[in-house]
Amino acid sequence: MPGVTKAQIAQAKKVDLLAYLQAYEPDVLIPNGNGIYRHREHNSLVYFRSYWYWNSRGRSINALDYLIEIRGYGFVDAVNKLIGESRNIPSVPPASSVSAVGNRPVAAQKKTAKSFQLPWVKRCATHMLSYLQRRGIHYDIVRRCLQYGILYESQYQGQPVCVFVGRDNTGKERFACVRSISGNLKKDISGSDKSFSFCYPPDQPGSRQLAVFEAPIDALSHATLQKLNGWKWNGYRLSLGGTSAVALVSFLDRHPEITRVALYLDNDRAGLTNAHKIKALLKADSRFSKLKISINPPRQVKDYNEKLLDVIQKSHEKNLVCRQEKAALSM
């Protein structure tokens, strides 16, 4: 299994789901007496005699199943969250270490609060602007990102990088990922909360539409395509930072006004498979069951940046033919 070992998977499966919920999602627990709990969002999910049973599915589940099937995590992200590796996410504590106030581990709160720090900002963004231009991103889109403080240039591990920032509803930085300008480096900054992934805002306030992409560059490519083609669309563009639904579920929780979700994941096996999984996940969740959800992979190319570059290339070729025809007529 790429990204995690068998030992790590086994360790994640040992995490007690009740202890996890008491520590990180105490509000979803409804005590029914005699040590029995029900899940507030999934009535058929019941805790009894030391295990959770999912009545509607006819089987028991553990913490790993819960993160993947109910919270929409990808397998690797779920394992890493539970064992506390990969992005310095605190390990899930036993129930005895949970604080009495708020049922949340105090040590975990302190560690998370201190661990996330944005990379330093390079005052001159020449390399980043040149890189995004090569990727076809319109300067007006880049300028808007700079104004909102969700994109800048830095250096990471000695490489010039683009830094894509995710903010919460108060404007506080909660997430950042870097993309190498000259190499293949792609990485989330340690301590990032993927619930607040990169999001390009709508042109006008009051939007009820959300477009979802795997990567920030695809979200910006889609915004550029809209500008080039004159599409009449106003909505948020959210990057998942992969194919996990964590950022999407969190975003929808914070934006109950959203009525339409378009999944623009990559046109490959992983993207198509996960798009259908995410759609099923949302439809099965009572909070999101009324959403109108569409799956819109790019045609004939892998992702929306490839689509953008293809559109630009064809436009250049068309303009070249027109210039050649005009030149021939003038001779």
In CATH, what number is assigned to the domain containing residue 188? 3.40.1360.10
Q: Which of 115, 139, 154 is the last residue of a domain?
A: 115
Q: Are 64 and 15 in contact (CB under 8 A)?
A: yes
Task: Return all residues near 301 (Cβ < 8 A) that are at least 6 apart.
Answer: 267, 307, 310
Number of domains composing the chain = 2
Same structural domain, 89 and 135:
no
CATH code for the domain of 73 = 3.90.580
Same structural domain, 24 and 169:
no
Q: Are 118 and 163 in contact (CB under 8 A)?
A: yes
pLDDT mean for each 10 residues of the chain (331 residues): 78 86 80 78 74 74 85 81 53 38 40 69 92 96 95 90 94 93 88 91 93 97 94 93 87 94 94 91 88 95 96 86 73 67
Same structural domain, 139 and 282:
yes
What three-state secondary structure class fits 177?
A: strand
pLDDT at 297 (0 to 100): 94
Same structural domain, 111 and 29:
yes
Same structural domain, 159 and 96:
no
pLDDT at 287 (0 to 100): 87
Same structural domain, 162 and 88:
no
- Report if residue 325 sits inside a domain: no
pLDDT at 294 (0 to 100): 97
Measured CA to CA, the distance from residue 305 to residue 136 in angstroms comes to 8
Residue-number span of the structural domain to which 271 is assigned: 126-313
pLDDT at 108 (0 to 100): 42
Same structural domain, 148 and 232:
yes
Same structural domain, 139 and 107:
no
Measured CA to CA, the distance from residue 225 to residue 288 in angstroms comes to 28
Same structural domain, 208 and 93:
no
Give the pTM.
0.69
225 forms beta bridges with none
pLDDT at 19 (0 to 100): 85
- Report if residue 58 sits inside a domain: yes
